[in-house]
Amino acid sequence: MGNEILLLILGYTASLFMAWCIGSNDASNPTDTAVGAGAISLKKALILFSVFAGIGALAQGWMVMKTLGKGVVPHVELYGAIASVLGAGIWIIIASYKGMPVSTSQSITGAVLGVGLSYVLLGRLSLDDIRWSIVANIILSWITSPLASIFLAAILYTVIYRLTFRHGSAEKILRGLLIFSLIFSAYSFGANDVGNATGVYFAVTQEILGLPDIHTRVLLALIGSIGIALGGFTLGKRVISTVAYKVTRLEMVSGAAAELSNALVVWLFTTIPYMLFGYGLPISTTHASVSSIIGVGLARHGVKGVNWRIVVQIILSWLLTLPVTITLGLILRYAIFLVTGQ
């Protein structure tokens, strides 16, 4: 039991690292539009992001934790959990250093799949044991959420523009709307993305510590929230600069429309599938955020209003994520087996 506790602490340390990686890359998702539109300073945006992402993690983060911890692969044991978060974290931190927004949901799902495939190689599972229907639903959400974000952002831009056009205090109203959108988006982000850092430890924590669901949720949400906040304040600026300033030119109306779209899409994909099927979908908050900004760019300026060179670079990083993290998860878990025999 003592060795298991030590390994669990090591696992939580790896999870904290993964959360730091997520914060480094994904702090841009709720903050990019408010910062890019000039409604709030980067420092104040990151403070609001940290606080409300933590609230979202505590209130709803468990909806996605269970999907990754018990959904994709029937059982991810402690060494598998460690390999998953390390594999995903390595890829995310490389992308963050380069200033590229990648999907942390894709990263952890790919790493968990890689671990599942290592179990197949080790004879512990068959391919049929991997829950491909859940994997298919997650992948489908990665396609539908960007499309929903683009269309919703374009619609919201038109509505907000018409409501505030020629309004005397429009700037003050829009600034308030942008800050509200940041808060709502940070909450939705915490509800969806904390599971990417900690979800693989849900079953493991209950097995080793014997904690009930509610205590497990709170413990893992706290670990994830702390790491995400640290990541946002250390490396978050690199990706924020890319998305806030280089995809399209943002002002108050387009910034508010993009962030509201992002927040709504992420919250709905977290909440509605859980109500219908019992598990929240770990969608890419990065896909939703960047797609929302593309949507307002198209609505405001047409095709020429979007920097397609940057968009293509971002899409290429998205396409690389799944194969890279599947490979890393498989290699790391197999390497742990070669070293430990377990």
The pLDDT score that the predictor gives to residue 45 is: 92
Q: What percent of the chain has pLDDT over 70?
A: 97
Residue 1 burial by Cβ neighbours in a 10 Å radius (0-12, 13-18, 19+)? exposed
The string of pLDDT tens digits covering residues 139-177 is 887 888 889 999 999 999 999 988 887 777 788 888 999
Q: Label residue 1 by pLDDT band (50, 70, 90).
A: low
First-to-last C-alpha distance (Å) of the chain: 16
Question: DSSP alpha helices (H): ranges in the chain?
Answer: 2-26, 28-36, 42-60, 62-66, 78-97, 104-121, 132-164, 170-198, 202-209, 213-234, 236-245, 252-277, 285-301, 308-340
The pLDDT score that the predictor gives to residue 244 is: 66
pLDDT of 209 over the 80 cut: yes
pLDDT of 71 over the 70 cut: no
Angle of helix 252-277 relative to helix 132-164, nearest 10 degrees, comes to 150
Q: Label residue 68 by pLDDT band (50, 70, 90).
A: low
Output the CA–CA distances (angstroms, integers) from residue 74 to 16, 28, 127, 141, in the order listed: 23, 33, 11, 21
pLDDT of 74 over the 80 cut: no
The pLDDT score that the predictor gives to residue 119 is: 93
The residue behind tokens 């250390």 is 234
Mean of pLDDT values over 309-313: 84
The pLDDT score that the predictor gives to residue 44 is: 92
Cα(228)–Cα(192) distance, integer angstroms: 12
Cα(205)–Cα(186) distance, integer angstroms: 26
